[in-house]
């Protein structure tokens, strides 16, 4: 296990002088307005993230939160509910920071499509901003169903809440999914841009708040060990997995309109693929980074609908057992059609047509009710071209694997072969591991801290641009078009690693999925 003997020391410069790390910028004074503030996301993630930013002294004193939703709360009752929900879900928060942020939470009850409610909201924002000295900056978080995005932005524009002037900024955070296909994504973008400009729009993907994802850029471009090997000459293939043990829970109605392919692939998994495959940006700024990411998406080889079965697997979980607990099948979940053909599992094989990656497949998969909760990027290297040990019992080594673990345990591991001590020539795979919690004194986080902070300082590096959204939808549109009358997805047992057809997708190429802790 890698340990951090020097982790408390300041970094040294080339001449040996110690240089203090640059402090992170405190967020701009502002009022954060959360639409859909009575939902789980606010209680479980957003307010705890703000408390953690308070703990880390990254929020200014001139800051406040206004919640907006239909539920009948007051300033006092919404604070009480948030406190109860944090306790219920076991959210780990420093108590003093939690109290400080709760005292800055306010509430407006109203319908999202009611112009009168926005007048009440405007008055509340102005009162709160004056009370806390938050000035004229506004950040709006749309923690609501995607069908309401356009309505809310339109109402913000009509109420004069989206206009930027006299150095005051107005920014809007939009949760995924951004559209349900390419035409709807384009239509939504056009609707929102009747009110907002692109620099005002922050399309959030909470995966990018994970430290391992952010560290991928440093890992690749800040070290000279791996980047020379990061290409088709040395890498056999790449696997990107987002596996969940939970089912659809209470989201059956939504999931029936989405499915695994729409819900996870164009957003989370394509973001991870782009960061893994992109070239080094010329500068470490938002546009330079996103320029390189979108190039990867544009380079993905077009998928042909008639060959969808060769490159795609759709699956749906049936009843099964996990950790000794009986689990119902998807069609028995609340809000799900008993004859549903919606997939809860999707696997894709993609090829990137550029100089670095030509001929190197990227295998992506995501699913619910799988054997283990795990999100990871696995870089599988090629076998050596000459087998020195062909006349021994070591006829074939396990491939070297570099694995970036994104959740639940963030870190990086490298697997390679080593000789077993003793007589004879025997080999076993061993690992070198780096774990964030072991090496750094990292504080508990929700994954939203960095993203919210970046919004408040105007850094769009970790947020998706409109052309990135379109490019992602363009890749999977042939698959969606081929499913106008979808066949029944392949069945898999809840608690397994998915349908056997997904294993066959890999087996045809002489490869296999990483279905184990290694």
Long-range contacts of 479-488, Cβ-Cβ distance < 8 Å, separation of 24 or more: 479/261, 479/303, 479/305, 479/308, 479/312, 479/348, 480/181, 480/261, 480/262, 481/305, 482/305, 482/306, 482/308, 483/314, 486/314, 486/341, 487/341, 488/316, 488/341
> Residue 426's closest CA among 401, 389, 383, 387?
389
Per-residue CA distances from 8 to 5, 22, 233 (Å): 8, 15, 39
For residue 169, report the phi and psi dihedrals to the nearest 5 degrees.
-105, 155
Distance between CA 491 and CA 506 in Å, rounded?
18
CB-based burial of residue 63 (10 Å sphere; 0-12 exposed, 13-18 middle, 19+ buried)? buried
* 8 Å CB contact between 49 and 32: no
Q: By three-state DSSP, how is residue 87 classified?
A: helix
Task: For the chain, give percent helix, strand, coil, nearest 5.
Answer: 35, 20, 40
H or E segment at 107?
strand 105-109
Task: For residue 467, give both structure tokens.
Answer: 């052309």
Query: Exactly one of 206, 237, 268, 453 is catalytic; which is it?
Result: 268
* 8 Å CB contact between 293 and 286: no
E-strand ranges in 352-426 read 361-367, 374-381, 401-407, 411-419
274 Cβ contact list (under 8 Å, min separation 6):
293, 294, 296, 297, 468
Distance between CA 105 and CA 129 in Å, rounded?
12
232 Cβ contact list (under 8 Å, min separation 6):
356, 357, 358, 359, 360
Is residue 132 among the annotated active site residues? no
> Residue 347's closest CA among 178, 185, 489, 482?
489
* 8 Å CB contact between 29 and 62: yes
Q: By three-state DSSP, how is residue 172 classified?
A: strand
Any idea what the Cα angle at residue 359 is, between residues 266 and 307, rounded to 5°? 60
* CA atoms lying within 13 Å on the CB side of residue 169: 19
List beta partners, residue 314: 346
Sign of the Cα torsion 370, 260, 462, 133 reads negative
Catalytic residues: 268
């Amino acid at each position: 296990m890698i340990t951090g003997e020097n982790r408390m020391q300041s970094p040294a410069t080339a001449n040996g002088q110690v240089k203090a790390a640059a402090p992170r910028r405190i967020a701009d004074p502002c009022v954060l307005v959360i639409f859909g503030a009575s939902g789980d996301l606010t209680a479980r993630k957003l307010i705890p993230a703000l408390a953690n930013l308070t703990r880390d002294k990254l929020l200014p004193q001139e800051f406040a939160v206004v919640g907006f939703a239909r539920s009948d709360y007051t300033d006092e009752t919404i604070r009480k509910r948030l406190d109860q929900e944090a306790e219920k879900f076991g959210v780990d928060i420093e108590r003093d920071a939690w109290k400080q942020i709760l005292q800055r939470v306010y509430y407006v009850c109203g319908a999202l499509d009611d112009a009168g409610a926005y007048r009440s909201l405007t008055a509340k924002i102005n009162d709160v901003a004056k009370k806390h000295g938050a000035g004229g900056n506004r950040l709006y978080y749309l923690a609501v169903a995607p069908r309401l995005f356009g309505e809310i932005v339109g109402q913000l524009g009509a109420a004069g809440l989206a206009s930027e002037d006299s150095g005051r900024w107005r920014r809007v955070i939009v949760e995924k999914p951004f559209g349900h296909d390419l035409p709807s994504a384009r239509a939504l973008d056009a609707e929102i841009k009747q009110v907002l400009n692109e620099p005002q729009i922050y399309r959030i993907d909470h995966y990018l708040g994970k430290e391992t994802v952010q560290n991928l850029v440093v890992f690749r471009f800040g070290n000279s060990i791996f980047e020379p090997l990061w290409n088709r000459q040395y890498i056999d293939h790449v696997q990107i997995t987002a596996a969940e043990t939970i089912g659809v829970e209470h989201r059956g109605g939504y999931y029936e309109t989405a499915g695994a392919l729409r819900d996870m692939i164009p957003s989370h998994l394509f973001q991870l693929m782009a960061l893994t495959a992109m070239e080094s940006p010329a500068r470490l700024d938002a546009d330079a980074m996103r320029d390189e990411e979108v190039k990867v998406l544009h380079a993905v080889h077009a998928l042909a609908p008639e060959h969808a079965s060769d490159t795609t697997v759709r699956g749906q979980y049936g009843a099964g057992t996990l950790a000794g607990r009986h689990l119902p099948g998807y069609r028995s979940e609340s809000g799900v059609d008993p004859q549903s053909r919606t997939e809860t599992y999707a696997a894709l094989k993609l090829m990137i047509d550029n100089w670095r990656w030509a001929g190197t497949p990227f295998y992506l998969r995501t699913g619910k009710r799988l054997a283990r909760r795990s999100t990871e990027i696995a870089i599988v290297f090629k076998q050596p071209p000459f087998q020195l040990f062909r006349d021994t019992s070591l006829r074939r080594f396990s491939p070297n694997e570099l694995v970036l673990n994104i959740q639940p345990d963030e870190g990086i591991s490298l697997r390679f072969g080593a000789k077993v001590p003793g007589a004879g020539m025997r080999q076993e795979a061993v690992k070198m591991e780096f774990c964030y919690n072991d090496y750094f004194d990292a504080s508990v986080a929700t994954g939203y801290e960095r993203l919210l902070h970046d919004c408040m300082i105007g850094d769009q590096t970790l947020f998706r641009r409109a052309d990135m959204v379109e490019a992602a939808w363009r890749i999977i549109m042939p698959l969606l078009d081929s499913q106008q009358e979808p066949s029944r997805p392949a069945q898999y047992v809840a608690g397994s690693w998915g349908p056997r057809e997904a294993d066959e997708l890999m087996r045809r190429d002489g490869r296999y999925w990483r279905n184990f802790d290694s």
